[in-house]
Amino acid sequence: MGRVVCVANQKGGVGKTTTAMNLAAGIAKGGYRTLLVDLDPQCNATSGLGHTPCEHHPLVSRNNLRESIQSCEQERLDVLPGSRSFQDIETLAHEDRARSAMVASHLKGGLTDYEYVLIDCPPSLGQITQTALASSDEVLMPLQCEYFAMEGLTQMIEVIRQVMHRRPGRLRFGGILLTMYDESLELTAEVDDQVRDFFGEIVFDSVIPRDVAVSEAPSHGVSVLDYAPRSRGARAYIELCLELLGHG
């Protein structure tokens, strides 16, 4: 299996799923075989790329994982769809280490054909997110440019450190991404300065602006790169892709 990037933040509404979708699409456009894994019970990454959630999540079913992978209209981009089944969510979120290890092993074993795998996590610090982190090479954390941007960040970083401690040398901090960036707002500049002063080089140079095209694209079942390729949002995600690929 290639490079596995976990897109995670316990705070909802920060652009996590949007980033996972558009980053996956951008990497695929760069010529890499890419898979987007939907672990969020809301299944927005699945529907946002034009697919239907599964009745049962592929990671808890006994079927071969590859049988559940769905191809997107975009070349080299596939999706492992999520499920809204409460029973599957409970199974994925179970605190049992053996079960968590089984899910992680299932995840790794079925995705060997891809150069990049992006995992969209639920907005929580629970077992699903921790399992995703334990199965990943790096974690990317979207952070909205708002007053409460730093709220909860300490807890998220602590969970990442715990996973790093349990699996030394495997997981690294890929970076923090500033989203919903509005240059006209003084608050945006303040959040930008605070985050970069505190975290330094792990903050991506690329920022994702507020752009209606980014919000509209999922309703058409495509990424913003296909929906509005000349939009500010599309250009920002292309820049992020180039930056991420350059860090590989």
Element holding 6 (H helix, E strand): strand 3-7
Question: What's the full length of the chain, in residues?
Answer: 248
- The span from the CA of 130 to the CA of 19, in Å, is 19
Cβ atoms of residues 5 and 89 within 8 Å:
no
Cα separation of the two ends of the chain = 14
> Is the predicted pLDDT of residue 23 greater than 60, yes or no?
yes
The domain 3-246: what is its CATH number?
A: 3.40.50.300
What are the sequence ranges of the domains in the chain? 3-246
- The span from the CA of 57 to the CA of 85, in Å, is 8
- The span from the CA of 42 to the CA of 158, in Å, is 25
Nearest to 218 by CA among 86, 95, 38, 66: 38
Chain centre distance of CA 174: 12
The four Cα atoms 232, 233, 236, 240 give a dihedral, to 10 degrees, of -170
Conformational region of residue 182, where left means phi above 0, alpha means psi within -120 to 50, and beta covers everything else: beta
Mean pLDDT to the nearest integer, 127-134:
86
Confidence of residue 126 (pLDDT cuts 50, 70, 90): confident
- Chain segment 173-189, per-residue pLDDT in tens: 889 999 999 999 999 99
Confidence of residue 95 (pLDDT cuts 50, 70, 90): low
Res 170: pLDDT = 79
Confidence of residue 193 (pLDDT cuts 50, 70, 90): very high
- The span from the CA of 119 to the CA of 248, in Å, is 17
Pick 86 or 9 by higher pLDDT.
Answer: 9
Res 220: pLDDT = 95
Nearest to 45 by CA among 10, 76, 84: 84
Q: Where are the beta strands (DSSP E) in the chain?
A: 3-7, 34-38, 70-71, 77-80, 116-120, 138-144, 172-181, 203-209
Across 75-79, 123-127, 166-170, least confident range:
166-170
Mean pLDDT to the nearest integer, 47-55:
93
> Is the predicted pLDDT of residue 106 greater than 70, yes or no?
no
- The span from the CA of 54 to the CA of 50, in Å, is 13
Mean pLDDT to the nearest integer, 38-58:
92
Q: Side by side, which strands form the sheet with 116-120?
A: 70-71, 77-80, 34-38, 116-120, 3-7, 138-144, 172-181, 203-209
Q: Is the pTM of this model over 0.85?
A: yes
* Residue 217: count of CB within 10 angstroms of its CB: 26
Cβ atoms of residues 210 and 180 within 8 Å:
yes
